[in-house]
Amino acid sequence: MHIEEHKDLPVGRAGRGSVHHVAFRAKTVEEYEQWSDKLRALDFQTSGEVDLFYFRSIYFREPNGILYGLATDEPGFTSDEPLETLGKPPFSQGKRVRIERSLSL
């Protein structure tokens, strides 16, 4: 990863067309847990370990505020559900109309 600093540019704003976070991969839960331990040891403020049904993730910001995520491959998208319901996690179904409406703005 290569990062450039440009102090002459305006501060970025969150919103449509911006990047929410940069994600990195942990191939296994064990690798993910090692990174979680390392982030805590380095005193990073994190989201804590988050279970997102299809993968586990942890989010943290670097000193300039950029949000990073670290997510596992496991358990995976097809580990426990049929293909017909793939991509429809139960926590989002009651919000489907509102989510779809906001995407079409």
Which string of DSSP letters, residue by residue, matches 14-79?
-STTS---EEEEESSHHHHHHHHHHHHHTT--B---EE-SSEEEEEEE-TT--EEEEEEEEE-TTS
Q: Which CATH number fits domain 22-79: 2.70.70.10, 3.30.70.590, 3.50.50.60, 3.10.180.10?
A: 3.10.180.10
Q: Please count the residues of the chain.
A: 105
pLDDT at site 100 = 82
pTM confidence score: 0.60
Residue 39 is classified by DSSP as H
21: how many CB neighbours lie within 10 A of its CB? Answer: 13
> Rounded to whole angstroms, how far apart are CA atoms 4 and 36?
26
The residue ranges of the chain whose pLDDT is under 50 are none
pLDDT at site 38 = 93
Domain extents in the chain: 22-79
> Rounded to whole angstroms, how far apart are CA atoms 14 and 31?
30
pLDDT at site 79 = 67
